[in-house]
């Protein structure tokens, strides 16, 4: 599993699955969630309605509809509340659970956004450290089908942080 970083819009990624930073209702929202729903078309929301939501730290899978990706893995990141509410473990769980869902379907390429670092307020550097540690742990502990994992950063700050952390690796 090769890990890379790009600066782009996640809805443009031609991979087997993109990950959506959703909320527990799974019925859409602002930020990237809204962009994904707009790009996928109304059928995505119709399928999401059948899922009955998703608890924080878990993941659910739908088809990608009009997106250039076969699947969308919806995961719900934690709202940052200062760090004492299990936020780091819940964020790590989002990455683990999303990778598990991709592997269950034998997918080989997955694009991740910077979960929780927008509206949910998770400090960006800490979130990036948690994300990289989580995906590397997953790679070490599992026989994965995933060959390509790309972190798609939308803002410059996240892109700079990920580049720094991946260089240190």
| Binding footprint of ligand APR on the chain (CB under 6 A) | 9-11, 21-23, 29-35, 77, 113-120, 152, 154-155, 158
Helix (H, G, I), strand (E, B) or coil at 62: strand
The nearer residue to ligand APR, 99 or 106, going by C-beta atoms, is: 99
The nearer residue to ligand APR, 46 or 106, going by C-beta atoms, is: 46
The nearer residue to ligand APR, 34 or 83, going by C-beta atoms, is: 34
To ligand APR, the closest distance from the beta carbon of 35 in angstroms equals 4
Q: Report DSSP letters for 39-106, one per residue.
A: HH-HHHHHHHHTTT---TT-EEEEE-TTSSSSEEEEEEPPPPSSS-SSHHHHHHHHHHHHHHHHHHTT
To ligand APR, the closest distance from the beta carbon of 69 in angstroms equals 12
What six digits make up the tokens of 85?
Answer: 């509410």
């Amino acid at each position: 599993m090769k890990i890379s970083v790009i600066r782009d819009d996640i809805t443009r990624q031609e991979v087997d699955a993109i990950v959506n930073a959703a909320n527990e209702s799974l019925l859409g929202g602002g930020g990237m969630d809204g962009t994904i729903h707009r790009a996928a078309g109304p059928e995505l929301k119709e399928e999401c309605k059948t899922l009955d939501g998703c608890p924080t730290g878990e993941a659910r899978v739908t088809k990608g509809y009009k997106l250039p990706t076969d699947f969308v893995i919806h995961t719900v990141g934690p709202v940052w509340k200062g760090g004492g509410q299990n936020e780091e473990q819940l964020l790590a769980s989002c990455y683990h659970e999303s990778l598990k869902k991709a592997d269950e379907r034998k997918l080989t390429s997955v694009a991740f956004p910077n979960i929780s670092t927008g509206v949910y307020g998770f400090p960006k550097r800490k979130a990036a450290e948690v994300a990289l540690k989580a995906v590397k742990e997953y790679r070490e502990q599992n026989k994965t089908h995933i060959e390509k994992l790309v972190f798609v950063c939308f803002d410059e700050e996240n892109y700079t942080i990920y580049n720094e952390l991946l260089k240190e690796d």
